[in-house]
Chain A
Amino acid sequence: MRPVLRARIPLTLPASRRAFTPSTLRPGIRQPPDSDTVRFPGAVESKFTHELSFHRPQDVPAMPTYRFINAEGVVVDKKSKLDIGKEKALKMYKDMVTASVMDLIMYDSQRQGRISFYMVSAGEEGIAVGSAAALHDEDVIYSQYREQGALMYRGYTLDEFMSQLFANKKDYGKGRNMPVHYMSERLRLFPISSPLATQIPHAVGAAYALKLDNSPNIVMCYFGEGAASEGDFHAALNIAATRDCPVVFLCRNNGYAISTPTLEQYKGDGIASRGIGYGIETIRVDGNDIMAVYAATKAARETASKRQKPVLIEAMSYRVSHHSTSDDSFAYRAKVDVEEWKRRDNPITRFRKWLEANNWWSGDEETALRTQTRKDVLRAFTKAEKESKPAVREIFTDVFKHATPELQEQREELRRIIEAYPEEYDLGEYDGGKAGI
């Protein structure tokens, strides 16, 4: 319906007015009589064929998965040079370990009812940390919710994680969001929200802003393979391509969207095959190989920054954890499969093998790191748990830039109720208690 309509309107305009628009200033597409090339405006590079044949997806080989080191930690890409020195490599390793240690502790704390919700990133630490390590500090990050390793690498502190998870008064979101919805203006980590894939077009808008600023920085945008089924994924990649936006899309393809296996998510060759359809340079990498993720992201960042083009990276992994603390994944997959994955390949152990082969890491250091990390996490945990919740008045602030009369009235109404029924409301845990309204 609509295309017809839209197409009709311009035709009624006077020709003189149309002459000023760029679309009509383009040279006409003319086709010589014996041309073997299609000159339809919608596909100018296409050749004519006299063979009636459909392009079958099964005839196109699956896109290969790039590896830098193999499962034994041995370098298999002999050509690419990576600028990962000892210091950087150890930071990457430590951040992966810290993310996994924090995950274990916070998962248990949710089970004990001390926080309301949690999502671990087990098996995907390499994707998050490896990609973040390839970014510049001023690059913008939009994430989904399973990228705590990236935030950690960027410099998000354990205190910041814990304040958000406990929704205390130091939480940047003022206790309004569920746990795991992190953000940081200081680190250019855009706020995580629950609706899936909505951040993908945001990232493209942010990338266009960087382009207009003539900035060398780029936007990194994370999402899962399930989120890539949302319309926002389609909209975003298409706009990114048509507007030449400096954005790197990183899809974590971990095989599951909650209970839905990829077989029920899509029928094509993963997410990577779609990038080509949008005219976007694309690579598929082994997400358990932090070096491959790093190498691919670094090259993608270069393309986005220098050539002002979007890039798509599909990082393959396996979600060894439950989807969240509200999910028991053994209801839809066999425990033995998960155990198998855990044993066979893990980004942390794989990278550790490489570090050990370089003599940059030892068993003793491993034990010390894990002990210290656990202590650090628990210290931040205890501190955040003791902190009070934000003041009750924060219910009403930040809806608009300035409170409207309606919101002021409603705040007064809540104050009146609390004063009229003091025994019905325990406000002790909120900052300032009753006075906090």
Chain B
Amino acid sequence: MVPARRCLLSLSSSSSLRPSLAKAFVSASSSPRSYSSPAAPTTKRKLNLPIDLNASSYLAQTPQQALSLPELPDSVKSSKTKRLNLYQAINDGLSTILETDPKSLIFGEDVSFGGVFRCTTTLLDRFGSQRVFNTPLTEQGIMGFAIGLSGSGYTALPEIQFADYLFPAFDQLHNEASKWRYRSGGAESFNSGNLVVRMPCGAVGHGGLYHSQSPEGFFLGMQGVKVVIPRGPIQAKGLLIAAARAGDPIVFMEPKILYRGAIEEVPVGEYELPIGKAEVLQKGKDVTLVSYGTLVYTCEMAAKAAKEKLGVEVEVIDLRTVHPWDKKTVVDSVNKTGRCVVVHEASRTGGIGESVGAEVQERCFLRLEAPVTRITGWDTPMPLVFESLIVPDVARIFDGIKRVIEY
């Protein structure tokens, strides 16, 4: 009881006290307020150093960087940008959807006042209580209600307060939303295509068992639903807008540690990023590093260390859509590098890494020079004080890269 309460108090108070939440991300491994045990005294560390998101090349730090992204439409390339963090970009994306689609609506637990992570702030005032409203506290009800709306031609944007609490709605998502189009023979209206369920996910430094989960692996067995995990504000906005228009039910998992931590220049205009496409974040010829969400920044640091200490050039891929994930981009990369390391926060067994490992093995067998290696959370629940020993860090990813190189 007490730790759960404190974890969020500290999350939200730290957010309002320190707007640059790159530090919140950092604090998970270095702050004395962190509930996780440091792996070693900070002073001697060479790899597991604080990660400064404000310095990441995977976030657009300048308007020029933001507007030069090749996937943006021309109309947006000449527009302006705004400095937004992840929750503000989600808010921007949601408000774009509500503005452009009069039949779209947002609902869930506590979304009216702006949401416990501020993602829906001001939307009620702008779009009215018919379109932005609280529901009773029932995840299965929220999901079922959303499916009914979607089948009636409305774009339903339900929120599950934490991915950890998705499970009461699993039946609705798995047996209903994912199968509606299929069991209805592709009928025009009998589908859940206008459904995007948003949920905060991932470790946050002190979330314990039920405010830390990364349940994306469960979706690998759920056909008919797509799962998207953005790594930052630009992606969040573009993927969210695309998800609302994609015609398939989409689970949109938002790494909550990045809500205030990941800040970048976000194009002001309306744009979509492709669902189902991975993004190559940096080119390399020796190892393919596959990840998504929060851990791409840890991968960035590990790749940098590998370059400095081992002279290894790592190709880093952000899956963006984790189910079904972009096999072509990954396979093309591994066929070039001959080595593959998959990194995720979720448990190893049943995780995305299993799928990537098996597919790469089948598709790149003759090119593989080392076993596909997975750097993941352990097969345990997420215990409060041990988080930093569970979430993959720079040292573990570096070690993975080293192992596949030396194999």
Contacts and interface: CB of A to CB of B under 8 A. Distances in A.
A423 interface: no
Contacts of B58: none
Interface string A193-222: 101001011111111111010000000000
Interface in A301-358: none
Contact of A193 (B16, B161, B176, B186): B176
Contact of A398 (B13, B181, B210): B181
B327 A22 contact: no
A238 B141 contact: yes
B324 A202 contact: no
B176 A204 contact: no
Contacts of A190: 151, 190
A191 B140 contact: no
Interface string B156-195: 1000010001001001100110011111111111110100
B186 A206 contact: no
Contacts of B105: 212
Nearest to B174: A195
Contacts, number: 204
Contacts of B211: 5
B378 interface: no
A200 B144 contact: yes
B152 A398 contact: no
Interface in B65-111: 103, 105, 109-110
Taking each of B9, B12, B112, B140, which has the highest tally of chain A beta carbons within 10 Å of its own beta carbon? B140
Contacts of A238: 136, 138, 141
A77 B146 CA distance: 41
A232 B140 contact: yes
B130 interface: yes
Interface string B313-333: 000000000001001100000
A401 to B, nearest CB: 4
A129 B184 CA distance: 24
Contacts of A183: 184, 187, 190
Nearest to B181: A398
A179 to B, nearest CB: 13
A203 B148 contact: yes
B124 interface: yes
B141 A398 contact: no
A208 B145 contact: yes
A209 B103 CA distance: 9
23 contacts: A5-B211, A6-B109, A6-B110, A8-B8, A18-B113, A20-B122, A20-B125, A21-B114, A183-B190, A185-B187, A195-B171, A201-B145, A202-B151, A206-B148, A206-B149, A207-B148, A210-B152, A212-B103, A212-B130, A235-B140, A243-B135, A397-B186, A401-B193
